[in-house]
């Protein structure tokens, strides 16, 4: 198999280059990602601050910090920490990877896979086995690999049905789920086997993966629709209830088999399952289901997040990016602004009170693994320059103006004399309205292109003017459209994006907004704190907002 973890890491590396704007004209478009490393960092920090117990080195069950999370969910949260490490390379996450292993060791009988008071269904074991194998790949600690291999052999020897195929789910002392073969154990077992094939090169693991997948595709997959059921019972009855984690692990298993074998049929299955998730399980806007009414199901989308990222990042199926980014953008906009926590139901604001760790986990997981949608890149585009001339045929003295609303005072500040212009050059996308009186009153003449002679009635008549650019909003460091200028297209820009595009923190004093466009400026870096709304017709931002912009929405 190809090295999946390296490819994921390379895909998700985001290089941020600061651009110092030293002139009023950018040489060409500059793009930024639809979401940034800052938001992913903030979300991960919040999850750790409110949900992780550094003393036990495991996770609380809720933000009140009065219980321990369910056994299997720790493995999922651990996997998210590994995603954060591969995204950032930050040593604090490497420390967490080792710490969480120690926390689980202390809590769960030293990973004694035979202790049926600790473990009672096979998928609980397999989630940990998958994460342990990945922890070995990241750290090189052979203890993690040895425990993971022992766990896999334990599950396979006890749960694999050598007569009829597939993997059983339950084994506990009360016989919970005994005889059922669930998607949540079969597809993760395939994933673990493929991890061990990648690590060891032992083809026996690949054979186990292909064998179980063949059975699961027949019994736990609708090859016409892409639906993944919850289970097939010991009576042969299929429960077609859909959950995102089952869709996700099926996508992950099929994607990893495609990468291991090159067989396109596996990739087709993965895309079919992704399509079913989007078209059937989501609402009309493509937003994933809430899942988890006060139970551990809030963790399910965190599993889906990791494995849809394998399809997108490792298999190159970027057609799913817009859909997933829509989910990320919505849930982030609905976060608890004070804590930066997000909720399992992406369509509603996150409560400011107690929420479960399960409920808070999935959006954080998406942010660690999903790259921004390149089709929705936001842009810094060249700020246009309008040149006004003293004489016809572009002769005599000339002055440069940029988008804005120029009263007589503003024109004077720009050096343009009153009642002086005879010709002008207007770039594409710009409209110039010149007025015979101050404050945009009197006779108006409109120009959308160059004019070597503006005509006898308009000649030497400009006392005020409006220049608007229909392709973006221009931000100025000085009052009345002076100082450095950067023009941005519609989008949502956090502080690191603004810096990347040449707008330093707290540096905007005036702006030029085209018609049918609005701008909300925020004093804080992630769209919170005091905000100010501006529409077409604005020039100076005013004393309260002056030099206060740390993030902005243009819409």
Average pLDDT over residues 343-347: 97
The lowest-confidence range among 93-107, 172-186, 251-265, 490-504 is: 172-186
Distance between CA atoms of 80 and 361, rounded to whole angstroms?
Answer: 9
Range from 118-122, 298-302, 540-544 that averages highest in pLDDT: 298-302
**Is the separation of the CB atoms in 427 and 506 below 8 Å?**
no
Average pLDDT over residues 331-335: 90
Q: Provide the pLDDT for residue 304.
A: 99
Where along the chain do its domains lie? 19-32+377-555, 36-107+289-370, 118-281
Task: Report the percentage of the chain scoring pLDDT > 90.
Answer: 77
Q: How many CA atoms lie within 13 A of 418 on its CB side?
A: 7
Of the pLDDT bands very low, low, confident and very high (cuts 50, 70, 90), residue 500 is confident
What's the pLDDT tens digit per position in 21-42? 223 333 345 444 446 677 888 8
**Is the separation of the CB atoms in 16 and 502 below 8 Å?**
no
Q: Provide the pLDDT for residue 13.
A: 34
Distance between CA atoms of 164 and 179, rounded to whole angstroms?
Answer: 12
Distance between CA atoms of 256 and 94, rounded to whole angstroms?
Answer: 25
Average pLDDT over residues 353-370: 98
Task: Report the percentage of the chain scoring pLDDT > 70.
Answer: 91
Of the pLDDT bands very low, low, confident and very high (cuts 50, 70, 90), residue 10 is very low
Classified as helix, coil or strand, 149 is: helix
Average pLDDT over residues 86-101: 97
On the question of pLDDT at 3 being above 50, the answer is: no
What's the pLDDT tens digit per position in 421-465? 999 999 988 999 999 999 999 999 999 999 999 999 999 999 999
Of the pLDDT bands very low, low, confident and very high (cuts 50, 70, 90), residue 471 is confident
Distance between CA atoms of 249 and 409, rounded to whole angstroms?
Answer: 65
Distance between CA atoms of 223 and 298, rounded to whole angstroms?
Answer: 27
| Alpha-carbon 463 to chain mean position | 48
Of the pLDDT bands very low, low, confident and very high (cuts 50, 70, 90), residue 103 is very high
The lowest-confidence range among 179-183, 448-452, 536-540 is: 536-540
Distance between CA atoms of 121 and 67, rounded to whole angstroms?
Answer: 21
Q: Provide the pLDDT for residue 123.
A: 97
Average pLDDT over residues 464-473: 90
On the question of pLDDT at 515 being above 90, the answer is: no
On the question of pLDDT at 19 being above 70, the answer is: no
Distance between CA atoms of 336 and 51, rounded to whole angstroms?
Answer: 14
List, in sequence order, every beta strand (DSSP E) within 269-401.
378-381, 386-391, 395-401
Q: Provide the pLDDT for residue 476.
A: 93
The verdict on pTM exceeding 0.85 is no
On the question of pLDDT at 1 being above 70, the answer is: no
For 407, residues 6+ apart whose C-beta sits below 8 A from its C-beta are 438, 439, 440, 464
On the question of pLDDT at 315 being above 60, the answer is: yes
On the question of pLDDT at 314 being above 80, the answer is: yes
Share the mean pLDDT of the chain.
90
For the domain with range 19-32+377-555, which CATH number is right: 2.70.50.30, 2.60.20.10, 1.10.10.10, 1.10.357.10? 2.60.20.10
Going by C-alpha positions, the residue among 410, 397, 401 that lies closest to residue 463 is 410
365 vs 330, more confident: 365
153's enclosing H/E stretch is: helix 142-159
Q: Provide the pLDDT for residue 34.
A: 47
**Domain 118-281, architecture per CATH:** Alpha/alpha barrel (1.50)
Q: Give me the residue label for tokens 């369509």.
A: 347
Buried b (16+ CB within 10 A) or exposed e, 79-100: bbbbbbbbbbeeeebeebbebb
Classified as helix, coil or strand, 239 is: strand
Q: Provide the pLDDT for residue 419.
A: 94
Q: Find residue 433's DSSP bridge partners.
A: 446, 466
Q: Provide the pLDDT for residue 9.
A: 37
Of the pLDDT bands very low, low, confident and very high (cuts 50, 70, 90), residue 373 is low
What's the pLDDT tens digit per position in 44-65? 999 999 999 999 999 999 999 9
Calculate ∠ Cα 195-199-202, nearest 5°. Answer: 90
The lowest-confidence range among 61-65, 75-79, 309-313, 539-543 is: 539-543
Helix residue ranges per DSSP H, 483-539: 495-500
Q: What's the CA dihedral at 161, 197, 81, 5 to 10 degrees?
A: -140
On the question of pLDDT at 281 being above 90, the answer is: yes
486's enclosing H/E stretch is: strand 485-488
């Amino acid at each position: 198999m190809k090295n999946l973890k390296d490819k994921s890491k390379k895909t998700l590396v985001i290089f941020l280059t600061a651009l110092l704007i030293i002139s009023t004209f950018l040489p060409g478009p500059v793009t930024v990602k639809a979401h940034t490393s800052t938001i992913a960092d903030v979300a991960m920090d919040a999850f750790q601050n409110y949900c992780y117990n550094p003393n036990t080195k495991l996770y609380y069950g809720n933000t009140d910090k009065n219980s321990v999370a369910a056994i299997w969910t720790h493995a999922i949260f651990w996997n998210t920490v590994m995603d954060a490490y591969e995204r950032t390379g930050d040593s604090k996450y490497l420390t967490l990877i080792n710490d969480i292993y120690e926390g689980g060791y202390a809590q769960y009988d030293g990973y004694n896979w035979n202790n049926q008071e600790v473990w009672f269904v096979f998928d609980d074991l397999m989630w940990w086995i998958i994460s342990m194998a990945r922890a070995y790949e990241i750290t090189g600690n052979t203890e993690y690999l040895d425990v993971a291999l022992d766990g896999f052999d334990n599950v396979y020897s006890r749960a694999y049905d050598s007569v009829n195929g597939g993997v059983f789910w339950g084994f506990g002392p009360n016989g919970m789920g005994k005889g059922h073969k669930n998607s949540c154990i079969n597809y993760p077992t395939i994933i673990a086997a493929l991890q061990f094939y990648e690590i060891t090169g032992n083809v026996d693991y690949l054979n186990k993966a292909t064998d179980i997948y063949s059975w699961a595709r027949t019994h736990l997959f609708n090859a016409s629709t892409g639906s993944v059921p919850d289970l097939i019972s010991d009576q042969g009855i299929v429960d077609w209830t859909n959950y995102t984690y089952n869709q996700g692990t099926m996508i992950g298993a099929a994607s990893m088999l495609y990468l291991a074998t090159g067989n396109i049929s596996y990739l087709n299955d993965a895309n079919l399952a992704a399509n079913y998730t989007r078209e059937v399980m989501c609402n009309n806007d493509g937003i994933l289901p809430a899942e988890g009414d006060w139970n551990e199901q809030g963790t399910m989308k965190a599993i889906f997040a990791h494995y849809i990222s394998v399809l997108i990042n490792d298999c190159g199926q970027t057609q799913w990016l817009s859909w997933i980014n829509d989910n990320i953008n919505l849930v982030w906009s609905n976060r608890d602004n004070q804590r930066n926590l997000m909720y399992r139901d992406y369509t509603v604001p996150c409560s400011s009170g107690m929420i479960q760790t399960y409920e808070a986990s999935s959006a954080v997981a998406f942010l660690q693994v999903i790259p921004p949608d390149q089709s929705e890149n936001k842009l810094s585009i060249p700020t246009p320059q309008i040149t006004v001339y003293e004489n016809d045929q572009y002769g005599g003295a000339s002055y440069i103006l940029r988008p804005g609303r120029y009263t007589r005072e503003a024109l004077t500040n720009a050096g343009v004399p009153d009642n002086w212009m005879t010709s002008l050059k207007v770039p594409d996308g710009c409209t110039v309205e010149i007025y015979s009186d101050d404050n945009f009153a009197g006779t108006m003449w409109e120009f959308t292109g160059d004019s070597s002679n503006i005509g006898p009635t308009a000649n030497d008549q400009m006392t005020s003017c409006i220049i608007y650019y229909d392709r973006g909003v221009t931000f100025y460091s000085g009052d009345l459209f002076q100082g450095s200028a950067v023009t941005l297209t519609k989008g949502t820009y956090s502080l690191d994006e603004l810096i990347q595009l040449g707008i330093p923190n707290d540096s905007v004093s005036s702006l030029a907004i085209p018609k049918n466009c609005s701008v909300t400026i925020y004093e804080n870096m992630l769209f919170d704190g005091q905000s100010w709304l501006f529409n077409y017709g604005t020039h100076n931002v005013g004393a309260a907002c002056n030099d206060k912009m740390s993030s902005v929405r243009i819409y």
